[in-house]
Structure 1
Amino acid sequence: MIFELNKPEATAQALAILRDPSYFQWYVIPLLVIVMFIYFTEMGKKNWKGIAGGMMLYGIHWFVEIVNALIQHWSDHALWTVPTGTAYLILVGVGIELSLMFSIAGLATTRLLPEDKTEKVLGVNVRIFYGVFNAALASIIEIFLVTTPAFVWVYPWWGALTVFLFVYIPFFLGATYAYYWEPKTQKIVLSSIWGLNIILLAIFIPLGFI
């Protein structure tokens, strides 16, 4: 069962449009400006904790997408693909629109967090509660996405539960925990994950692995 495929053709479709600029659409530019405006506004407010949360989720997002692309290279099929519907496919499983959304998802999550990290919601610490809550919400949204042609879970065993546990839990718990870290810890962890992502991209894109 582990080698069975839901839609094996989705891999070839995604690879056919991978980083192909001919699919570019102008709406990407205002989306990028909106993301810039949001972060510049938070910088103006000196909301460094919220920015740390946003950058933490986005850094994990990039790492997960790189791993997914490497899985495709080494096994011929990624766990998920974006075979159509994007103005620019960055890696086999993520288009520019999804990536821009994830760039602000962590920042949005931190808006729910109180100043006191010891507070609880329904008896659960706020970091865990909002991390898990948003992970569950994102998983539900992804259930809808796979009903469209634009997003595919390639393997039958890869679905809402595995996405929830191995993708969205790290995403959103990373954001909620990073929000409360001391500035020194934020700098060390964020520079480490972003440094790793840059190194992996610099090695594997020229080699044609991702």
Structure 2
Amino acid sequence: PTPFAFGAPEFQPAAILSLCIVMLVLMTESSAGMLALGEICDRRADARVITRGLRTDGLATLVGPVFGGFPTSAFAQNVGVVSLTRVRSRYVVAVAGATLLVLGAFPVLGAVVSLVPMPVLGGAGIVLFGSIAVSGIRTLSEAGLDDSSNIILVAVALGAGIIPLAAPTFYAEFPAWAQTVLGSGISAGAIVAVALNLFFHHLGTRSRTAAPALKSS
């Protein structure tokens, strides 16, 4: 890899704003991955763990484009690998990362990996993505779905997240910045979930009625 192969970096306000939105999307995805991984490893990811993970993502995103890469985030499929293999050692992760660095520096070695048949990768992908979905369902089961407002929140957020996959041209007539945000199911679902959570649980009559009980406790 050649540093700055595409030329010296430029700092354009519109591009910076767009990439900030993209980074929010990646941070949302990484946070979800860390929470799911904490559930699998029986070690809940608290604010400190998520903060350190996002800082690592930011550092990787800063270094990656120097060598022609893209913004980097925690790869959700790896959460499925941990769930299937039950291998939780950080040393295994470190060795795997070093192996990827070697494969990236020597394309001939990377070509050997590409010889793995696609049906094999497809079969493994079904199990990996399915395990990620199960982890998400297990997390949702603790979200108090006996409350009707929470059911509406989850339903609408899931619907917003599925729209970019089910109808890729749904946002075709929207402004470019809106397509950047809403074109990703993760970001669209996260924005809807946060907005509805604020509406249902932090604004209006519910927040006013909950305040005295919180104060008395």
TM-score, normalization by structure 2: 0.28
Look at both structures and tell me which one has the larger radius of gyration over its CA atoms: 2
TM-score, normalization by structure 1: 0.29
More helix by share: 2
More strand by share: 1
Q: Which has the higher contact order (CA 8 A, sep 6+)?
A: 1
